Amino acid sequence: MATLTFHGAAQEVTGSCHLLESPALGRVLLDCGLHQGGDAVERLHEETLPFDPKAIDAVVLSHAHLDHSGRLPLLVNRGFNGLIHCTEATVDLLELMLEDAAGLYLRDLERANVRNRRRGKPLRKADYSRADVHKALKQCQPHAYGETWSLGPAATVCFHDAGHILGSAIVELTLTEKARRKTLVFSGDLGKSDAVLMNDPAVLTRADLVMMEATYGDRNHRSIDNTLAELGEILQATWERGGNVMIPSFAVGRTQEILFHLGRLHQRGELSRWQIFLDSPMAIKATRLYDRWFHLLDRDDVKHIERSHHSSIEDFLPNLNCAVSTDESMAINRIKAGAIIIAGSGMCTGGRIRHHFKHRIWNARNALVFIGFQARNTLGRILVDGAKHISMFGEDYVVKARIETLGGFSAHADQSQLADWLGHFDGPPRVVLVHGEPRALDALSHKLWKEQQIRCEVPAIGESLVF
């Protein structure tokens, strides 16, 4: 019998990591992600790998976001030598994301040790190094969508387009135990059915066990037309106040989509007054990677860019300014009004967005617009929940900027779309819900039972099931 143990993203949104064990494939991790929220150095130091990394035979990675991939260097550091299976585009994005995360982590660690040295405290050793990142990347084995490949002595895997970010995959894993074939489908993160740039998530119909994300299991998104109208109203109101707009954004996926939407607004003549800044070296690199993988993206959206006589997402928005260097980033602070600033990180746990907060969050003329999910214990969630004061860089800041949330820009399927995707399976299959907070998990479970008579299982961290 196969055993599935949940070591992350169980009754929580981040830290996706699930251990599958069977004689048919050995010991395989589905994702190896980082928990997000709090201080980066403390967070990584507290991350655990509650299994022997040396005994893991392989990793099957759904996509490159750090909450699904961020513990890979730690896994390698502690002895993992197997292959990391992922899609071809994920390999490119993974290099970008893991290198960037390592740079931020090691810089934060250096600053923490300067403070420890001054206070006479012991210095903290790095939990992993850049060499571990490089080794993890060398262990990556890319696969195309639709390609079936062997994993272990009696198991096969096929990746299908999840429509979440470039290279994101639904994992279809079939194993044979004692002449019985069983199929596990792991959704990874499912994209919206109407997302720009991304294709709709692939529809599968056969599974014995479906492990499905439930990030937005308790709500439905507003339509993209309504969301764009709301963004237009926010921009107009902020312009009239003489302010600026700050948009925290994930470097991969959300940034490229918001640039596309801003490009559409520009093509209609609605952004001519604004200066737009992409203040994230990683997001700039990721946007250029999206240009390289145009053939994987939604053809209608790509054709829209091409019909406008532009060959890339970046060119589609000509009043976009890309800030790569620190000096270019700091120069944005001299702009008093009329700037749209897109910067990482998406949940405000680090990155340049916090420096823009330092200069602007205390000013009521400005607006702060959230376009993605904010996990518990992140600065973004604290702000969305209405905090009037926040702490950054050892100082207290009053929050006077207008806080806005535009759920229609989310890269995740909403409650109705999740239920619809699951409804295509014959059977129905056994269903396990992961990657969601308790309220979202409960709401989606209730909907699936009421409408499809599917009884869902909601595992806790460390819990195992047999199938």
| Same domain? 345 vs 262 | yes
pLDDT at 201 over 80: yes
- Average pLDDT of the chain is 92
| Same domain? 440 vs 381 | no
- Identify the CATH number of the domain in which residue 182 sits: 3.60.15.10
Summarize pLDDT for 81-108 with one digit per residue, the tens: 999 999 999 999 999 999 999 998 898 8
Query: In the beta sheet, which residues pair with residue 19?
Result: 5, 29
| Same domain? 100 vs 161 | yes
Q: Is the pTM of this model over 0.85?
A: yes
Summarize pLDDT for 309-344 with one digit per residue, the tens: 455 666 778 889 999 999 999 999 999 999 999 998
| Same domain? 237 vs 202 | no
| Same domain? 57 vs 26 | yes
* Res 304: pLDDT: 61
pLDDT at 366 over 70: yes
Helix (H, G, I), strand (E, B) or coil at 234: helix
Question: What would the mean pLDDT of 246-257 be, rounded to a whole number?
Answer: 91
Question: What would the mean pLDDT of 11-33 be, rounded to a whole number?
Answer: 97
Cα Rg for the chain, rounded, in angstroms? 22
pLDDT at 307 over 60: no
Question: What would the mean pLDDT of 388-411 be, rounded to a whole number?
Answer: 92
Identify the helix (H) or strand (E) that includes residue 432. strand 430-434
Per the listing, tokens 């392989």 go with 58
| Same domain? 436 vs 329 | no
What is the rounded CA–CA span in Å between residue 156 and residue 146? 12
Which tokens hold the place of 308? 């406008």
Pairing of strands 26-30, 18-22: antiparallel
Summarize pLDDT for 252-270 with one digit per residue, the tens: 888 998 998 898 888 888 8
Number of domains in the chain: 2
pLDDT at 301 over 90: no
| Same domain? 332 vs 416 | no
Backbone angles phi, psi at 59, to 5 degrees: -120, 135
| Same domain? 353 vs 431 | no
* Res 314: pLDDT: 66
266 or 175, higher pLDDT: 175
Domain interval for residue 443: 3-219+411-466
| Same domain? 438 vs 390 | no
pLDDT at 441 over 60: yes
| Same domain? 253 vs 334 | yes
| Same domain? 420 vs 454 | yes
